[in-house]
Structure 1
Amino acid sequence: MQTLDLVDARSGVEFGNGVHLDTRVDGDGERVALVLPGAERAEEDAAFLAALAEEFSVVAPSHPGFGRSPRPDWCRSVDDLAYLYLEWLDRSGLTDVTLVGLQFGGWVAMEMAVRSCARISHLVLVDSLGVKLGGPLEREVVDLFATPHAELDRHLYADAARGLGDLGRADVGAVLEMARNEEALVTYGWEPYMHNPRLLDWTWRISVPTTVVWGDRDGIVRPEYGRGLAGRIPGARFELVEHAGHRPQAECPEDVARLVAKSAV
């Protein structure tokens, strides 16, 4: 059985280069899942992580700049995040890790997998960003920063009521967390917008079984994009989650957790 000596749910993960990752650890399964979040608030993933913890030992860090994880000045690209988590895996001594990337975290997960799958046994990408499938003038990802929040909620969720709605009436802590996450997302993904132009050329290096999961009502990145992404990863399977938007793990947590468990068999 693998152990998680490296991480602690209360103190997070420390690196010697100024990085402290606020981390949630849950479950005691023999299989380990490293879950990389998107820009959602932490509570949105709580039910999904709890469901996943029924089958896995789950490690879910906040990226530098997101949530309660500070971002050192040197950490400003998705490449930096990919190398950081690969170093994390090396230090942990873990093997056969199921790597789960949620939205922006899917981009980070792909950047990790094209570099090294030595400690990764399965890859699950949930409504992932990160690649450019169409032409240079074709917009594939809704402008997350120019779209009014009321409209954005309708793109993010099949049920827009799951969003914060009128920010003037929303919980202050929730609004601040959302603002911090969006600020970090700008740092990592502003230009080129939400993708690495070279990443698609390297997806052939993903050498582990891969499942691409997509919400059928994703208004940020359409399911056709997900199918196209799956088609560029060797042997990848595509799974559609009904009645879910861009964050299916928030709207259908048990369904997505089952797909992750199924992918890791």
Structure 2
Amino acid sequence: MLSLVDSGSGTVVGRAEGEDIVLDVHTSGSGPALVLLHGAEGREANDAFIAALAERFTVIAPSHPGFGLSPRPDWCDSVEDLAYLYLEWLERQDWHDTMLVGLQFGGWVAAEMAVRDCSRLGRLTLVDPVGIKVGGREDRDISDVFAISRSELDARHYADPAAGPGDLSQASRDDVLHIARNEEALALYGWEPYLHNPRLQRWLHRIHVPTLVTWGAQDGVVSPDYGRAYADAIPGARFELVGEAGHRAQIEQPDTLAKLIAEHSA
């Protein structure tokens, strides 16, 4: 049994299987509750997007266990664990009609949550999510982000590579360690099978809340066609391309994406 309580200091503390769970949580803005699940970039990289959302919503943005400043208990090593952890969190906070927004890896987590239980959700937005397999066995649906150079990774993540972190040899030690920890966590959760759950696509029909799937038009990690297949598998989902944006559309086009989400919530 998992118990989660608000510590009153910007963190969420709980206990499961004899181990404490601590989530580093950032809350800002006012209005309807919006839970934001970040991708491999980490929450801090999305500050401009969070600020844009906070003009209309109370944005509740945790760092996943193993990312950012959130420690990871040994038992938490799968996307399924994250999905159940966050579902339990919503229940313990007694939130209803929550807007859930998942970014890339966080979009996969959000989809896994929604196929299990939509009862606490009001609307769902998935931004360039991974998590499903749409091609054949030999088709690479998702670029191997662990096997390409940093410069190529930035070119695939962003329509304008200058939007990325750039040459890490020029970055601060703390920034480099932060990126390394996030990428280590991504590898833990998404190594095998690579960044997807072979069973997820067949259960996406269980999502029964209004859903928006948005995609960077220049996404070089997962193509817009992959995004359309994702949306097609969710009943009634709307698909929107975001121009001048790559895989991390929330970083390159924060205001455009925040506006789409606000329209989706109306």
- TM-score, with structure 1 as normaliser: 0.95
Matches within 5 A, 1:11-90: 11-17=10-16, 18-29=20-31, 31-90=32-91
User: For residues 130 and 199 of structure 2, what CA distance do their matches in structure 1 show?
Assistant: 14
Which residue does 2:124 correspond to in 1? 123
Matches within 5 A, 1:221-236: 221-236=222-237
Secondary structure at the counterpart of residue 24 of structure 1: strand
By how many angstroms is 1:6 displaced?
5.6
By how many angstroms is 1:228 displaced?
1.0
Q: Provide the aligned C-alpha RMSD in A.
A: 1.3
Secondary structure at the counterpart of residue 15 of structure 1: strand
Q: Tell me if structure 2 keeps the 8 A contact 1:8–1:25.
A: no
Could you tell me which amino acid in structure 1 is paired with residue 60 of structure 2?
Answer: V
By how many angstroms is 1:164 displaced?
2.2
How many residue pairs get aligned? The number is: 260
Q: Tell me if structure 1 keeps the 8 A contact 2:42–2:63.
A: no
Q: Is 1:143 paired with 2:172?
A: no
Q: Tell me if structure 2 keeps the 8 A contact 1:76–1:187.
A: yes
User: For residues 175 and 249 of structure 2, what CA distance do their matches in structure 1 show?
Assistant: 19
User: For residues 87 and 258 of structure 2, what CA distance do their matches in structure 1 show?
Assistant: 23
Which residue does 1:172 correspond to in 2? 173
- Any gaps of 5 or more consecutive residues in structure 2? none
Secondary structure at the counterpart of residue 243 of structure 1: coil
More strand, by proportion: 2
Which residue does 1:241 correspond to in 2? 242
Q: Which moved more, 1:164-173 or 1:230-239?
A: 164-173
Q: Percent identity?
A: 56
User: For residues 114 and 14 of structure 1, what CA distance do their matches in structure 2 show?
Assistant: 25
By how many angstroms is 1:9 displaced?
7.8
Matches within 5 A, 1:98-137: 98-137=99-138
User: For residues 152 and 8 of structure 2, what CA distance do their matches in structure 1 show?
Assistant: 35
Q: Tell me if structure 2 keeps the 8 A contact 1:144–1:152.
A: yes
Q: Tell me if structure 1 keeps the 8 A contact 2:122–2:209.
A: yes
Q: Tell me if structure 1 keeps the 8 A contact 2:10–2:26.
A: no
**1:97–1:135 Cα change, 3 Å:** same
Kindly report structure 1 stretches of 4+ aligned residues shifted beyond 3 Å: 5-11
**1:241–1:132 Cα change, 3 Å:** same
